[in-house]
Structure 1
Amino acid sequence: MDASPDSDDTTGDNRSGRRAKRGLLERHFLISARGSTVGREILAGLTTFVAMVYIVAVNPAVMAQAGMDSSDVAIATIVVSIAGSMATGLLANLPLGLAPSMGSNAFFAYVIVGQMGLSWQAGLAIMLGSGVIVLLLGVAGIRERLTQGIPDDMKIGLNAAFGFFLCRIAVSQIGLAAGPDARPDAGLILLLLAIPATFVLAARRTPGALIGSVLVTATIFELASGRGVANALAALLPVWPHWPRHTAFALDFGPLIAKPLVGLIALAFVTFNECVGLIATTVTVTRAAGQESAGGMRAAYVSDASATVLGGLLGTASVSPYIESVAGVEAGGRTGLTAIVASLGFIATLFFTPLFSSIPPVATTPALMTLGGLMAWRSIGELAAKDIVSVITSVTMAGIALVSGNLTDALALGMIVYLAARWHGGSISQPARLFCILFVAAWVVSKFAV
């Protein structure tokens, strides 16, 4: 007889607790005001996470090409993705998932280390320096104004160049399928089938298309190599996260002091790419969510830059909001709760780093080819509404990146073409003109000095 009232009181307390939590979420995230619900935000966050979790596999594979420990890079990738997404959700209240940028990690491994000859420790110093600069610009409210002063020709051309550059990397990795551990014919056939399948699924915005492609391709290569099912299953076992002792705080400023011009060019390129990438992605995602006037942009800039600083300290490339966040927006995400749920998804991956760090680089080929192809395709679509100067500038940058595989050459020569065509037209802003001149001057001097 006495149990019933107690039970009712307990039930009432639980309901009151749930209402209080909903009220707290409502007050902070303005969920109802933005036309969403808690359930919809949770679903959107999970969708965003599934759409971008491929970076946990692809980023270590790319940065391992610079000599870094893939397991440590996986940990660093996850930590900065958690921190960046969580900060953006809490501070900016925007449905943006953040993680290391595919453009910056490729530039890190293949240009800073591969072409410029700097160590990966020096590369991390560049990433840290870029993060500090962008953070200061964001806190001061200067970042957005500077980025808006950069002409669309440069932004479109850089995106196209990055797209073709990623495709070039993917093509070079196809040769790895003929390595000693795999059957060449089977590996090549697998990639030729996986690339178009991944592209179609990603173009249709299928959730999990990229990470699914990486995991399936890696599994088939693992089995084809003769290492057996046991090794494949062992990678699925959860483990406790470890400290990235090989990459954390491993920065080295010495090579940058010895080669200041090379370091300056790399720093300018990474900073430029980070600013452009943040503005373009943030505007695209907020527009899709109908939140362009919701505010929070400065907080998003600070969150992004802070995550980049953390990435430089722990051992990964600069951080950027992901266009895959649009998948979460299409699932109904309208607030920062979406980003927080995505960050919780990344927390779960901390316990499966052996799975992601054991993936061979060749297994990321379909994902890299798809990402590069989509970046290039979207840039070509933007050129349809531009004039001939924009087209020539972008084609110059994309063509040089594809043929030479050198992004700094592509950007510098694209700037020269742009300056020559626009100089007397009065259509170049002073910040854009100054940035182009300084970058080209440093590039020219470095060609003679290195």
Structure 2
Amino acid sequence: MTQTKATEPVATSKPISGFDRYFGITALGSNIPRELRAGFTTWLTMSYILFVNPQVLSGAITVPNGFNQLLTTTCLAAAFGSLAMGIVARYPFAQAPGMGLNAFFAYSVVGAMGYPWQTALGAVFVSGVLFVVLSVAGARQAIVKAIPLSLKFAITAGIGAFLAFLGFKSAGIVVVNEATLVGLGSFTHPTAWLAIIGLVGTAVLMHKKIKGAILYGIIGTSLIAIITRIPVYSGPDGTLVPFAGFANGIIGLPVWPTDLIGQLDIGAALGLGLFSVVFTFFFVDFFDATGTLTGLAQRAGYLDAKGDMPRARLTFSMDGLAAMFGAFVGTSTTTAYVESASGIEEGGKTGVTASTVGILFIVSTFLWPIAGAVPGAATAPALILVGALMMQAAKDIEWVDLSEGVPAFLTVILMPLTFSIANGVSFGVIAYCAIKLLSGEGRKVSPILYVVALLLIARYVFLAEG
């Protein structure tokens, strides 16, 4: 499949300003209102992190008024990461503290292993330094180049399946089942029906090619929940309740994270006992972020015919820098967010989209009550529909050639089944190398990919706790 290079202009109108030229807005066939709308859509879709990340980390990071300090820290990390990706790398990929890695931080490193949270933050910082070093040295982009096109298409499709799974889970349509692992949720609860109404309504708007369809779908579904006062919002005790309104107004003064900023212990993190922890953070986020950025770039049309992404070194460096900053202000690994796909589907093509997300996270330190008016059932339809669109990449995989098709299938299926983009990418790479080598086609595989496969096998054998 031949793709248009991102650096090739698709519009002929003259850039209107230095701002336009820097971000390539007109050159990529976009405009400022579209980019702003895409950024707002991405922020709405990932705004749940404002409350979920503090909830996960507050059990491990024990400081006075911890939840509110962590909420501010989450905003700062997301704002810095998104602005760095938008202004420096000029891509529409938002960043924030990553789900999964925050749970590993809180429940495994601090909880089960017993390390102080300051030391765990130091481990996150060291892993971020490794990201930046490897990115500047060109290692990360070399690995991306070594990944065959079939796996790149599979990564995009797998992220689509993962997004859809997140959406179904958030809507309560897919739930935990002790007998079958997962099962169909109850349709006696309004959460599922609200999500279905939002799904159908948003799909109709998208089919009619209404600009801003996903954003309108999120806002419209949220308004239905607010007006009808159905219990779809998380209450203080974890139960679902109707929208409680803005008892203290839409402005909430931030609590500055005095007890978190600069508290990381890098020295302790460099001890031999933290070796496995540092490299677990490193490996998981390396392949999670690499897979996410590759999949988003493919969907946004930034990959060229060889599957290469322009400004890859800069882009990956910003990912590592965001992890370092996040650790400094007191949160677990900050990384590229797969929910950025919602903004891309809204037409976001440039760094203005990610920069908008960053600015909105800064504003969120004061206006975070507004994010609480958007229930998970309202963002679930966006995730499901974007997932469906990203699955289109599967059509370009050479399914007939099993040495290409089987690794691609493992990549796609294991992302939602293991709830990890990193696992999907890892098993796809390992399977691709093994099948090609044992089939007598080993020379078709880049030597770099063999090294990566061996490192991944070692990671699963020796760092199994990750």
| 1:244 aligned partner, one-letter code | P
Bigger Rg, which one: 1
Does residue 1:237 correspond to 2:266, yes or no?
no
- Decide which of 135, 138, 141 is 1:144's aligned counterpart: 141
Does residue 1:443 correspond to 2:460, yes or no?
yes
Q: Identity of counterpart residues, as a percentage?
A: 17
Q: Is the 8 A contact 2:173 2:192 kept in 1?
A: no
CA distance in structure 1 between the aligned counterparts of 2:19 and 2:373, rounded to whole angstroms: 38
Aligned to 1:378: 390
Structure 1 residues 349 and 294, CA gap change in structure 2 (3 angstroms): same
SS in 1 for 2:95: strand
Q: Is the 8 A contact 1:86 1:340 kept in 2?
A: yes
Deviation at 1:66, TM superposition (A): 2.8
Once the two structures are superposed, residues 237-288 of structure 1 have per-residue CA deviations (whole angstroms, 9 ceiling, x without a partner) of 3133332346544546768853633542342121112123223323533549
Aligned to 2:94: 98
Does residue 1:281 correspond to 2:271, yes or no?
no
Q: Is the 8 A contact 2:194 2:221 kept in 1?
A: yes
Deviation at 1:403, TM superposition (A): 5.3
CA distance in structure 2 between the aligned counterparts of 1:294 and 1:146, rounded to whole angstroms: 12
Does residue 1:425 correspond to 2:441, yes or no?
yes
- Decide which of 398, 406, 409 is 1:392's aligned counterpart: 406
CA distance in structure 1 between the aligned counterparts of 2:219 and 2:272, rounded to whole angstroms: 39
Deviation at 1:230, TM superposition (A): 9.7
Unaligned runs of 5+ in 2: 1-15, 59-65, 177-184, 207-212
CA distance in structure 2 between the aligned counterparts of 1:408 and 1:23, rounded to whole angstroms: 40
SS in 2 for 1:348: helix
Structure 1 residues 283 and 45, CA gap change in structure 2 (3 angstroms): same
Structure 1 residues 206 and 406, CA gap change in structure 2 (3 angstroms): closer
Once the two structures are superposed, residues 138-174 of structure 1 have per-residue CA deviations (whole angstroms, 9 ceiling, x without a partner) of 3334432222213456552563674476368547898
Structure 1 residues 413 and 81, CA gap change in structure 2 (3 angstroms): closer
Deviation at 1:435, TM superposition (A): 1.1
Alignment of 1:208-247 (within 5 A): 209-210=217-218, 213=221, 220-221=230-231, 231-234=244-247, 236-245=249-258, 247=260
Alignment of 1:9-408 (within 5 A): 25=19, 28-29=22-23, 40-41=31-32, 43-55=33-45, 57-64=47-54, 66-68=56-58, 70-92=67-89, 94=90, 96-100=92-96, 104-105=98-99, 107-110=100-103, 113=106, 117=112, 121=117, 124-125=121-122, 127-152=124-149, 155=152, 156=154, 159=159, 162-163=162-163, 166=166, 170=170, 188-200=188-200, 204=206, 205-207=213-215, 209-210=217-218, 213=221, 220-221=230-231, 231-234=244-247, 236-245=249-258, 247-249=260-262, 251=264, 257-258=272-273, 260-261=275-276, 263-285=278-300, 287=302, 296-314=311-329, 315-320=331-336, 322-327=340-345, 330=347, 336-337=351-352, 339-356=354-371, 363-364=375-376, 367=379, 371=383, 374-375=386-387, 378-379=390-391, 381-382=393-394, 385-387=397-399, 388-396=402-410, 399=413
SS in 1 for 2:215: coil
Structure 1 residues 123 and 355, CA gap change in structure 2 (3 angstroms): farther
TM-score by length of 2: 0.67
More helix by share: 1
- Higher deviation after alignment, 195-204 or 347-356: 195-204
Unaligned runs of 5+ in 1: 1-21, 177-184
Structure 1 residues 346 and 113, CA gap change in structure 2 (3 angstroms): closer
TM-score by length of 1: 0.69
CA distance in structure 2 between the aligned counterparts of 1:376 and 1:111, rounded to whole angstroms: 29
CA distance in structure 1 between the aligned counterparts of 2:164 and 2:243, rounded to whole angstroms: 38
| 1:437 aligned partner, one-letter code | L
Structure 1 residues 29 and 318, CA gap change in structure 2 (3 angstroms): closer
CA distance in structure 2 between the aligned counterparts of 1:239 and 1:77, rounded to whole angstroms: 15
Structure 1 residues 244 and 364, CA gap change in structure 2 (3 angstroms): farther
CA distance in structure 1 between the aligned counterparts of 2:52 and 2:46, rounded to whole angstroms: 11
